[in-house]
């Protein structure tokens, strides 16, 4: 399964970077191949200072070796080895009318010291972070997510949408990071689903990503905006940074397993602002966006 899934994410990385470059028209992804001393490595692709994408990364990795003590405590296991592979992407458009998007699809194995497989699971999802609310955009994104889920189980969308709203949440500010999507973790083989069925579900979601996001980028990338709207985008990007550095489990795992810092922190936007106690004006479009972040909706 690990070879099968790694081959899938290699292909998916190619498809996504090709599609984004077509939207971009000017800037290209720069590829950075790297290795991890403890075992494994990855293929990082970064696009910066484009006409459409201010900063974006579409990265894959496959790493392995002894599970560090800190992560043994996190997983509540003893001295074991691990393998983890996945694709992680974040795209920060320049235009504040276009939403930031994040996605991740991953596979994990754990072994005892004899090399026997003792655990394996999939995880991942995709979520949207707009700066201005276009309800049709959010409905489109969630509709594609729901369709991908419905191919595999009628309750998947409801369950994983709820988990997404719960996970991508800045509890220290009592507001969501964005308008959600899907989040799932520890999808193991069980009495209801084989590992192959788990694989089919996760890859269906991965295959849906471009259809979910590209129409939104294409629709919003050339809209006019004011300096004040750009400032709001950068303030909200600050909340994005806060989540990734304070709450995100993927960041934590990467840092604690001696992951590659540049690849882990590629998710951070290039231009961010923090104002002291910033509050949008009542009745403004910025206040409307904040209200949705404080009270997540059911979009489909």
Which residues does the annotation mark as catalytic?
102
Closest CA to 271 of 52, 91, 59, 55: 55
Which residues have C-beta within 8 Å of that of residue 114, sequence separation ≥ 6?
A: none
Closest CA to 244 of 267, 228, 221: 267
Give phi and psi for 66, each to the nearest 5.
Answer: -65, 140
181 torsion bin: left (phi>0), alpha (psi -120 to 50), beta (else): left
What tokens does 279 get?
């509050």
Copy the structure tokens of residue 65: 């070796």
* CA-closest candidate to residue 94, choices 211, 232, 233, 210: 233
Cβ-proximal residues to 201 (8 Å cutoff; 6+ apart), any chain: 122, 149, 151, 152, 153, 156, 187, 193
């Amino acid at each position: 399964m690990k070879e099968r899934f790694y081959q899938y994410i290699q292909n998916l990385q190619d498809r996504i970077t090709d599609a984004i470059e077509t939207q971009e028209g000017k800037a290209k992804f720069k590829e950075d191949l790297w290795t991890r001393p403890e075992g494994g490595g990855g293929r990082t692709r970064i696009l910066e200072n484009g006409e459409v994408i201010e900063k974006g990364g579409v990265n894959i990795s496959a790493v392995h070796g002894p599970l560090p003590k800190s992560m043994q405590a996190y997983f509540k296991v003893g001295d074991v080895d691990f393998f983890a592979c996945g694709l992680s992407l974040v795209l920060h458009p320049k235009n504040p009318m276009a939403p930031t998007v994040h996605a991740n699809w991953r596979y994990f194995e754990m072994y005892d010291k004899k090399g026997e497989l003792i655990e394996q699971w999939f995880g991942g999802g995709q979520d949207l972070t707009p700066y201005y609310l276009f309800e049709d955009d959010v409905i489109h994104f969630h509709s594609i997510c729901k369709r991908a889920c419905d191919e595999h189980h009628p309750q998947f969308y409801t369950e994983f949408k709820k988990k997404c709203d719960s996970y991508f949440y800045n509890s220290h500010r009592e507001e969501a990071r964005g308008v959600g999507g899907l989040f799932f973790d520890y999808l193991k083989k069980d009495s209801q689903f084989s590992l192959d069925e788990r694989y089919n579900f996760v890859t269906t979601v991965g295959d849906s990503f471009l259809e979910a996001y590209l129409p939104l980028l294409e629709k919003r990338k050339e809209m006019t905006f004011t300096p004040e709207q750009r400032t709001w985008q950068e303030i909200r990007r600050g909340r994005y940074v806060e989540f990734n550095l304070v709450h995100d489990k993927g960041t934590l795992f990467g840092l604690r397993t001696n992951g590659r810092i540049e690849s882990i922190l590629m998710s951070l936007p290039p231009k961010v602002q923090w104002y002291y106690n910033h509050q949008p004006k009542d009745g403004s479009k910025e206040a409307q966006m904040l209200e949705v972040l404080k009270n997540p909706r059911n979009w489909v």
